[in-house]
Chains A and B, each alone.
Chain A
Amino acid sequence: MESFKGKPRESWGQYLLNLPSLFVRSIFRHGYPNNDVDRSEIVFKNFFLHFHPVKCHKHSLDPFYTLGLGTITTSLFLILVVTGIILMFYYIPAEDRAYDIMKDWQDTTPFAMMYRNMHRWGAHMMVLFVFLHMSRVFYTGSYKGMRRFNWVIGVTLMVLTLLLSFTGYLLPWDQLAFWAITVGSNIAGYVPNLPGFDYNINKVMLLASTSVGQDALIRFYVLHVAFLPLITGILIGVHFWRIRKDGGLSMAPEKYRPDPYRVVQRSDTKESFAPGVRRTYGLMELVRGTSPTVDVGPYNYVFTWPHLLRAELVGFLFSLILVLVLSFIDAPLEEPANPSKPPNPSKAPWYFLGLQEMVSYDAFWGGVGLPGLIVVGLMLIPYLDRNPHGEGIWFHRSRYVAVFLWTTFMTWQAILIIIGTYFRGANWGWIWPWTENFARH
């Protein structure tokens, strides 16, 4: 009787024949995603994709719901990391070298100017898109319910973005950098000092000295290239993870639910509606929460591959194009920093000009009190807003007060920034941007 001998031994010929596919399989643990099984596997067996769900709601793909703002912000962060690392290869954080290095580098090394421009404008764009993303989240009421704390993390990420941008501003060590940081750190110095310290402890902690110098430069450098990106990266991970655990992007409760038993699952189609099975993942049944598959038929869900990934790629490419187009404008590199030659006015980076404008009215309240209240207030929004309606809907009617308040707040900040940027001249006096401005050196 012929007993089972297991798999017959492969001949060398067979082995060599199979080698290519073996090699590919040793890297990719799934087949080509042209069927549902592989589409599922490509997501959860791939390290880089596995923070996606296998399937996502088609609502998430609606470009007019999210406007892709979160994706764009993340993409900008990635672009900044990559270009930043390239810059790091050349940069030396030393008072007497930083400026020369930057200047020589951008003048002589191939693509240097492009990378520097991408990094610079990317950073500005990231600040902008963080605010846009935040506004989107507010207008669609997406911070409600389970997502309350994710909003708090988002606000923290906004602060981190600002800090990243601020610390990076100093590194070229030109006049613009030096004086912007001087102004910025002076604003930090308006925080009341601890008793017993000769110099304002907040400013000293920030600058590692009482004025901007070598100590501040190395501190800002380490903050900019190591500490802050690490924290930001981790928090971005948490931000995503929570989105996933909260059942994907926020959306309005679905009005139409087909009888799960009547809708036939059609496999191997990209337009899979896939309610069919009431319960899919056994493990998920044990978990309380809003995972898509618990107690909910996966109606209107599509495979992440290719739908969601494609949408994300569009967001990424949009950011890349945006940054590349902006990179035709050369990033400023002014005279080398000269502590004895303050420009008048000294202006902070644009996103802090709202602050500087407020500081010009009142140092403490404009520079510390109000901004502190703003950050805390932003974090408290999900806990103060008791209106349960409007989640996932732009400008829900019941939220007219909230929408009005938010719009007013953002407009107010925008106006302050515009005033600070274009309407302030020497000694922070009022000027008209189209008249001649004598404050030039």
Chain B
Amino acid sequence: MDLALDGEFCTALMNRLSFGTTYQWVLIGFGLLATLLFGVFFYRELFPEYRIYQNDFVVLEKFRSASSPFKEGVKQILIEREDKGPSVVDRCISCHVALQIEAYSPTRIEKDLNGNIVYDPFGVPVQEVNPDYIWKKVEESGDPDLLALKTPNIVKVLSMHPLMGRETRPFEYHPIEEYGCTSCHGGNGNGLVTDRAHGPVFDGTYEVESHGFVPEFLEKDPANDPPFSRVFNAKPGHRLLFQTNPLFVGSLIQAKCMQCHQSSQDRLLNAASSASVAIERNKKEIAFIQKGLELEKEQIASLLRLQELLKKQGYPKTLDGLKNLASDYTLPQKERESYSANYQFLKGLTSDSASQVIEKKLTQSSKTLLEKEAALNNSQELIQHIQDVSGKFDLVRDENAVGHIQSDVDLLTKDYQKGQALFLSQGCYACHRISGRSRGGVGPELSRSGDGYPWFVKESIVWPQADLRTSTMPNFRLDHEELEALMTYLLGQSSKNKTMSDTERRISMAAWEAGRKLPWELPVSKENITNLNYGMTVFAVEGCASCHRLKGYESNLETDKEWFESLFPESILGSQIVSVIEKNQNEIDKRLVVKAGKDSLLEEIEHKHPGSIEALYSNFKFAARAKNTKEWKDRVRRIRNMFIQTYGLGRLICPRPNWSGVYRSDQWLMEHFKNPTSHVPRSIMPVFPFDESKFYALTHTLDQLGEKNRIEGPFEPAKAYQTYCAQCHGMSRQGDGPVSEWIYPIPKNLMRAEFLRSLTKEEAIQSITHGVKGTPMPPWGEVGEGKEGKPILSKEEIKQLVDWLYSTLPLQSVTPKESPKWNYQVEDVMRELKEEGAATVLFDRGNIAKEYYTMENIQEGRRLFIENCAPCHGKEGDGAGLRAEAMNDAKPRMLTNLDWISSQDDISLLRSIKYGVPGTAMTPWGDLTSAKQRLDLVLFIRSLSKESEDRRKLTDALYQAYGWKQNEEREIYYKIGIGFISLGADEKIQNEWVQIILKKGSEKSLMEAIDQENSEGWKKQKAQVISGLAEIKRLQK
């Protein structure tokens, strides 16, 4: 036993022994590992990146045998901050050590015989190849060690800062000691590592955040795309994202220039507005002087009167008379007050001294009167002078003059100016607000877009839905060059702008907010309203063309139209243009001829607004870049102009307004301009900040062009489809035309047999002839109200078109008229109700009679709707239910669409509910609902649109009563009004309510209003209203 115990003891001992050594080994291992890890961190700190460049620099300097001493180490510039905060540190020069040394620049300033600087005709110093360029010297020396240094990276880091504008040496106007690098270039001055200092910008090769599928919107052409196409294309990965403000590359740096400098145009505009501010102020002053003058005159008059009274009546009687007058309540208050003041004045004097005092006062007053008059005359003269001088500022508003003013700043910030022009010509200003510049309220405000990140700005332009899926900003497919300019402009919008003093900015903002008109917001002159060229120019350069493609622009080119159309179809891509031109180069040059000596509108616009038209066609920009010869670029330009002449000017994002002037009335067009959703629900068109007269001009333009754009020649259905229908319904007739993305509802898929079959030919003809109310489908067979002439499509043509559409329909055997859906009539409804044993309902020409609209029925309808219909149609019937997302061919109908719903009678709604709508996700509900339930549903759907109509009425009433501003009390009124309506209070009560709000204004409290209203109808409903109020309060809680 002892032995056994000892054995066990020994085993335990052995175990422990090995255990102990294991610990020892682990300890040693861990210790080494920890040291190693520390070593890695240590190593990182020991060899900083800037040493590489500094060491190379020293080698190169030695080779150059430069005598200037260079001390290695971190170098920094300290820039004092205005707010006395810790100074900004700028360590860029630790790596960029050769910024000021001419030997590191490939060019240098040219000097003439006398050793003076050579200037070009614009006053800019001429540069020549630098014979002392260090890398050239290195190559000449052939030293392999030195040649090994010549990597693109080192060359880039060790280079002189390029000369800008009129500089003759780097940093001539912005001394580096004073400005550092980061104040212009951005980036992180503290950083000493590429990533940290620059941020992720270079060549697009940085760690990117994974984002899943990213669609391509522009064709790629790696060989010819500008460098800008490679930067800021993706949000950086987390490691890089927030490390630093990114460095601004390329032209983006101009955004920084504009934070301290102003363009000549802005400067002049500001001067003009400052002058007008000064004039306004002086006018105010004059008004005061004038008032003083008037009062002085009044005083003299009353002094004279008193003097006369004293002479006539003597002191006591005058005093009494004045006293009586002061208490005579038949006189106006003001007069009485002045009499009592006279009385007080006279009372303070004795009868002897009175006339003397008055005499003295009189002389004094007439003296001041003269002084004041002189001052007034002076001021008026002065103001006249200022006005005369500032009249010259009107020149500033003349675009032609402004375009030619060029200072250093203008020359160096061309891209920024271009971006500014694009912001206007691409219609950005209609949706986005930039304080002082644009008033749009649809999209996000961009006043401080420069405080954000460049990749975010770029992403938001090239793919607006990337960050906000519900964004309604269309994709404009801007070319890289436009994008660069626009980004430069947007990045220049920043809170750090120093061009104006804070006070100045506030005053100018206040004036802008109060409605100071910008050039494009000004009224149009009378001649221009009817000037077709003016209207078309507005369309082309003030934003309309950004989304609409309008035909009718003439260029100075002539060609065979059919030949051109066959070569360049409308949907041609940039690369296709290149290959077509390459193939048919000679033929194009031969057949695309310039009309002799005749410049048309297109050329005129191109000349006056450079860049605005080419920005609309990124495919042609792509083609123009393919070859870098003048002939090629000119040829592409000519083809583009011919393309515009053939297909229209503008992007094809929204429906073509080519014939709108024919089938839409002027009133419709004006309403559409002023409120696009009034006739086309969910239209994405913004309201342009134009003057009414400009809208008239545009209406007039569309009217005239509509006539001009009529297609002559024999009618061919297929061709007509392509011309008129394909923009929405698509070339393949599947409802996928180029503009279908942004219109509501989705254009019908005309290849779907189910849909066509359920639609009778007669209905199809109806829809084409009269359009579909509440949708963008226009009435092709109508002429706008108040217009004369024939419609775009005649009856016969529409019939042919419909026949052609149905000709492709397979299995024609089922004629739609036989389907039970279309035979479902009012009588059938009655019969069904009888069978169910429900109360019968009266119909009034396909519509349910008014008596049937009771609270219970509507409530029942609402319950059914929310249970069954809301998943697709949305709880409020706006067609935005959860399942709507997933539907592709047709979205659920927006049941609050007034125009549409009022064009349907109740029986057709009942039909669609009972039999469904073939070809859409609307299934037949006939088996699942009773006739009574269907009726209730229709009642509820009707009440929805009635409710929205009421809401509109109420809003209008409120608008009239209060203007747009709504404070809390008004809000309450509004809510309660809505509450009445939603509770189903009867029409009369609602109308009265509107009246009450109109009458009472905001001063009276609500209950007072109710109490004081005594009309007959009101008395009857009072109890109901008060209980309704209680109900609303309960609901609000």
Using a CB–CB cutoff of 8 Å, the interface residues on chain A facing chain B are 58, 61, 96, 100, 103-104, 107-108, 110-111, 114, 174, 258, 270-271, 273, 302, 307, 310-311, 313-314, 317-318, 320-321, 324-325, 327, 330, 332-335, 435-436, 438, 440-441
Known: A271-B13, A320-B34. A314 touches B192 (CB 8 A): no
Known: A271-B20, A333-B242, A441-B467. 4 other contacts (CB 8 A): A110-B45, A311-B23, A314-B23, A440-B235
**Chain A residues, CB < 8 A from B190:** 103-104, 107-108
In the bound assembly, the distance between CA atoms of A327 and B17 in angstroms comes to: 36
**Chain B residues, CB < 8 A from A332:** 238, 242
Q: Which of B22-50 contact A (CB under 8 A)?
A: 23-24, 26-27, 30-31, 33-34, 37-38, 41, 45
Sorted from nearest, which 8 A-B pairs have the closest CB atoms? A436-B212, A317-B30, A324-B37, A110-B45, A334-B242, A104-B190, A114-B41, A107-B191
Of the residues B20, B85, B192, B468, contact of A108 by C-beta under 8 Å: B192
In the bound assembly, the distance between CA atoms of A413 and B19 in angstroms comes to: 37
**Chain B residues, CB < 8 A from A108:** 91, 190-192
In the bound assembly, the distance between CA atoms of A410 and B986 in angstroms comes to: 60
Of the residues A58, A110, A321, contact of B33 by C-beta under 8 Å: A321
Q: Which of B211-246 contact A (CB under 8 A)?
A: 211-213, 235, 238-239, 241-243
Interface flags for B439-478 (1: CB within 8 Å of A; 0: not) read 0000000000000000010000000001111000000000
Of the residues B5, B188, B191, B241, contact of A258 by C-beta under 8 Å: B5
Interface flags for B110-127 (1: CB within 8 Å of A; 0: not) read 000000000000000000
**Chain B residues, CB < 8 A from A271:** 13, 16-17, 20
Q: Report A336 CB to chain B, min CB distance, Å.
A: 9
Answer yes or no: B89 CB below 8 A from chain A CBs: yes
Of the residues A96, A107, A114, A310, contact of B27 by C-beta under 8 Å: A310
Does the CB pair A174–B242 fall under 8 Å? yes
Does the CB pair B467–A313 fall under 8 Å? no
In the bound assembly, the distance between CA atoms of A317 and B38 in angstroms comes to: 12
Answer yes or no: B196 CB below 8 A from chain A CBs: yes
**Chain B residues, CB < 8 A from A174:** 242
**Chain A residues, CB < 8 A from B31:** 317
In the bound assembly, the distance between CA atoms of A318 and B30 in angstroms comes to: 7
In the bound assembly, the distance between CA atoms of A271 and B9 in angstroms comes to: 11
In the bound assembly, the distance between CA atoms of A311 and B24 in angstroms comes to: 9
B13 nearest CB neighbor, chain A only: A271
Known: A107-B191, A111-B41, A438-B468. A330 touches B30 (CB 8 A): no
In the bound assembly, the distance between CA atoms of A206 and B24 in angstroms comes to: 48
Known: A107-B196, A307-B20, A317-B34. A440 touches B27 (CB 8 A): no
In the bound assembly, the distance between CA atoms of A104 and B87 in angstroms comes to: 12
Does the CB pair B20–A438 fall under 8 Å? no
**Chain A residues, CB < 8 A from B243:** 103, 107, 333
Does the CB pair A335–B242 fall under 8 Å? yes
Does the CB pair B37–A111 fall under 8 Å? no
**Chain A residues, CB < 8 A from B45:** 110-111
Does the CB pair A438–B467 fall under 8 Å? yes
In the bound assembly, the distance between CA atoms of A313 and B238 in angstroms comes to: 35
**Chain B residues, CB < 8 A from A441:** 456, 467
**Chain B residues, CB < 8 A from A313:** 27
- Tally inter-chain residue pairs, CB-CB below 8 A: 83
Does the CB pair B23–A438 fall under 8 Å? no
What are 23 A-B pairs at a CB distance below 8 A?
Answer: A61-B23, A96-B85, A103-B188, A103-B190, A107-B188, A107-B190, A110-B45, A111-B41, A271-B13, A271-B17, A273-B9, A302-B16, A314-B23, A314-B27, A317-B27, A317-B30, A320-B34, A321-B37, A334-B242, A335-B242, A436-B212, A440-B209, A441-B467
**Chain B residues, CB < 8 A from A103:** 188, 190, 243
Does the CB pair A436–B34 fall under 8 Å? no
Does the CB pair A321–B241 fall under 8 Å? no
In the bound assembly, the distance between CA atoms of A114 and B39 in angstroms comes to: 12
In the bound assembly, the distance between CA atoms of A152 and B102 in angstroms comes to: 74
Q: Report B863 CB to chain A, min CB distance, Å.
A: 28
**Chain A residues, CB < 8 A from B38:** 324
Q: Which of B179-198 contact A (CB under 8 A)?
A: 188, 190-193, 196
**Chain A residues, CB < 8 A from B37:** 321, 324-325
**Chain B residues, CB < 8 A from A335:** 242
In the bound assembly, the distance between CA atoms of A441 and B86 in angstroms comes to: 30
Known: A330-B239, A435-B212. A314 touches B191 (CB 8 A): no
Q: Report B206 CB to chain A, min CB distance, Å.
A: 15
In the bound assembly, the distance between CA atoms of A138 and B235 in angstroms comes to: 46
In the bound assembly, the distance between CA atoms of A270 and B23 in angstroms comes to: 14
**Chain B residues, CB < 8 A from A302:** 16
Does the CB pair A334–B26 fall under 8 Å? no
In the bound assembly, the distance between CA atoms of A96 and B30 in angstroms comes to: 42
B91 nearest CB neighbor, chain A only: A108
In the bound assembly, the distance between CA atoms of A110 and B44 in angstroms comes to: 9
**Chain A residues, CB < 8 A from B5:** 258
Does the CB pair A436–B213 fall under 8 Å? yes
Q: Report B604 CB to chain A, min CB distance, Å.
A: 43
**Chain A residues, CB < 8 A from B242:** 174, 332-335
Q: Report A155 CB to chain B, min CB distance, Å.
A: 30
**Chain B residues, CB < 8 A from A58:** 16
In the bound assembly, the distance between CA atoms of A100 and B45 in angstroms comes to: 21
Does the CB pair B34–A321 fall under 8 Å? yes
A313 nearest CB neighbor, chain B only: B27
In the bound assembly, the distance between CA atoms of A297 and B362 in angstroms comes to: 126
Q: Report B182 CB to chain A, min CB distance, Å.
A: 13
**Chain B residues, CB < 8 A from A435:** 212
Interface flags for B961-1000 (1: CB within 8 Å of A; 0: not) read 0000000000000000000000000000000000000000
In the bound assembly, the distance between CA atoms of A317 and B235 in angstroms comes to: 39
A332 nearest CB neighbor, chain B only: B238
Q: Report B29 CB to chain A, min CB distance, Å.
A: 9
In the bound assembly, the distance between CA atoms of A334 and B38 in angstroms comes to: 26
In the bound assembly, the distance between CA atoms of A110 and B38 in angstroms comes to: 13
In the bound assembly, the distance between CA atoms of A96 and B239 in angstroms comes to: 23
**Chain A residues, CB < 8 A from B19:** 61
**Chain A residues, CB < 8 A from B213:** 436
**Chain A residues, CB < 8 A from B193:** 107
Does the CB pair B211–A436 fall under 8 Å? yes
In the bound assembly, the distance between CA atoms of A330 and B30 in angstroms comes to: 23
In the bound assembly, the distance between CA atoms of A318 and B26 in angstroms comes to: 10
B37 nearest CB neighbor, chain A only: A324
In the bound assembly, the distance between CA atoms of A438 and B190 in angstroms comes to: 33
In the bound assembly, the distance between CA atoms of A142 and B535 in angstroms comes to: 88
In the bound assembly, the distance between CA atoms of A330 and B780 in angstroms comes to: 65
In the bound assembly, the distance between CA atoms of A317 and B33 in angstroms comes to: 9
B188 nearest CB neighbor, chain A only: A107
Q: Report A430 CB to chain B, min CB distance, Å.
A: 14
Does the CB pair B469–A438 fall under 8 Å? yes
In the bound assembly, the distance between CA atoms of A58 and B190 in angstroms comes to: 54
B241 nearest CB neighbor, chain A only: A334
Of the residues B34, B41, B89, contact of A104 by C-beta under 8 Å: B89
Of the residues A107, A270, A325, A334, contact of B192 by C-beta under 8 Å: A107
Q: Report B79 CB to chain A, min CB distance, Å.
A: 14
**Chain B residues, CB < 8 A from A314:** 23, 26-27, 30
A176 nearest CB neighbor, chain B only: B242
In the bound assembly, the distance between CA atoms of A293 and B41 in angstroms comes to: 47
A317 nearest CB neighbor, chain B only: B30
**Chain A residues, CB < 8 A from B91:** 108
B42 nearest CB neighbor, chain A only: A111
Q: Which of B232-291 contact A (CB under 8 A)?
A: 235, 238-239, 241-243
In the bound assembly, the distance between CA atoms of A441 and B456 in angstroms comes to: 9
In the bound assembly, the distance between CA atoms of A389 and B632 in angstroms comes to: 93
Q: Report A246 CB to chain B, min CB distance, Å.
A: 24
**Chain A residues, CB < 8 A from B188:** 103, 107
Q: Report B86 CB to chain A, min CB distance, Å.
A: 8
**Chain A residues, CB < 8 A from B191:** 107-108
Interface flags for B1-22 (1: CB within 8 Å of A; 0: not) read 0000100010001001101100
**Chain A residues, CB < 8 A from B235:** 440
In the bound assembly, the distance between CA atoms of A7 and B89 in angstroms comes to: 70
